[in-house]
Amino acid sequence: MQAWSLEHNQFIQRDNEEVALLPAQVRVSVEHLCLAPSDLEQAGACVPGAALVGRVVETGAAASAWQDVRVLVPPLQSCGECETCRCGFVGVCPSRVILGTDIDGACAETIVAHTRWVTPLSNGLEGISGIEAAFVAGPLLTAYGLFARAGTGAGDVVLVLGQGPVAAVLCHLAEIRGAKVLRAQSQDQAISAIAEHNSQKLPMRVLVCDGPQNCEVAVAVATSGSIVVSQLSQGALSVSALLQSELTFVAIPFAHPDLLPETAAMVAKGDLAVSEFIVAEKLGVGSPEAAQNAFASGKCLIAHH
Ligand SMILES: [Zn+2]
């Protein structure tokens, strides 16, 4: 099985051995995958690629019903059965693995996934194109996870901190859901956006996504009573700054994969257009550079074989 791994910021093709399937696992032939710069940073010795769309080509003993089904595969693969998972915290399950970080990811001909977390593209979801589907399982799922965890609704003031495709599509999502959206990539920008909008006294939803050191900015600029939800942000967070504020701070390492069918339905029904957040091209030696370039323009690289 052919796969791409990262060496000196360039992809090289290698021949990977196919692992045997556990009963509830399926082997998915990768059609389109999404590739963000953070996926490349986190891959280490693994094949990168955290989210994809593809078709099931082989099933474990307890998963035969999935044969030939076209599926979305999200980054997070937890056990789904431990106390932590059953309480809803699948992102911190002790046996959780992240595709492309802890196990080989989507820059390959095939990947192995647990049926519990894949979403079949059926029952109204058939119409999503491969390019859009890979984006749905990656940046859009993350964006929707942040939006939902903050309990965002129409009329809320939402400050989105981030510079990449998650931030871009999150702004779009919040706008179409009727929120008042402010976007910033730095503390200065956030302060002026809040002042411009005359929101200095209103509690807000501060959603922290794909950008450097945004947690500190979030705590520094959030108004009293705000809810800050952060996804794997970098940067040191001062505990004393947090204690002096009147904020609710929530960290979600990854969006819950159970949100994936709902996320896909928004795109399938035409409620949310995502094509403007995507650059699509064939997977190749230059894909890491293409991913960086796409990210710099607020877009995500969707690669295909
Ligand atoms: Zn678990």
Q: How confident is the model at residue 211 (pLDDT cuts 50, 70, 90)?
A: low
Q: CA separation (Å) from 190 to 63, 222, 238?
A: 48, 9, 18
50 Cα to the center of ligand 1, angstroms: 19
Tens of pLDDT, residues 245-265: 888 989 888 889 999 999 999
143 Cα to the center of ligand 1, angstroms: 23
User: Is 52 in a helix, a strand, or coil?
Assistant: strand
214 Cα to the center of ligand 1, angstroms: 29
118 Cα to the center of ligand 1, angstroms: 16
258 Cα to the center of ligand 1, angstroms: 14
256 Cα to the center of ligand 1, angstroms: 12
- The mean pLDDT value for 145-160 works out to 95
77 Cα to the center of ligand 1, angstroms: 9
CB 3 within 8 A of CB 11: no
Look at residue 125 in the predicted model and tell me its pLDDT: 95
96 Cα to the center of ligand 1, angstroms: 7
Measured over all CA atoms, what is the biggest interatomic distance in the chain, rounded to whole angstroms? 59
Look at residue 235 in the predicted model and tell me its pLDDT: 63
Tens of pLDDT, residues 158-180: 999 998 999 999 999 999 999 99
Look at residue 244 in the predicted model and tell me its pLDDT: 80
Question: Hunting for tokens 């999404």 — which residue is that?
Answer: 34
Look at residue 202 in the predicted model and tell me its pLDDT: 84
253 Cα to the center of ligand 1, angstroms: 14
| DSSP state for residue 140 in the 8-state scheme | I
99 Cα to the center of ligand 1, angstroms: 16
119 Cα to the center of ligand 1, angstroms: 19
The amino acid at 22: L
Q: How confident is the model at residue 130 (pLDDT cuts 50, 70, 90)?
A: very high
- The mean pLDDT value for 24-52 works out to 93
Q: Which residues surround ligand 1, an ion (CB under 5 A)?
A: 78-79, 82, 85, 93
pTM: 0.94
Strands (E), the chain: 2-7, 10-15, 25-35, 51-59, 70-73, 76-77, 97-98, 110-114, 119-120, 157-161, 180-184, 205-208, 227-230, 248-251, 278-282, 300-304
Q: Which domains does the chain have, with CATH numbers?
A: 2-139+255-304 (3.90.180.10), 143-251 (3.40.50.720)
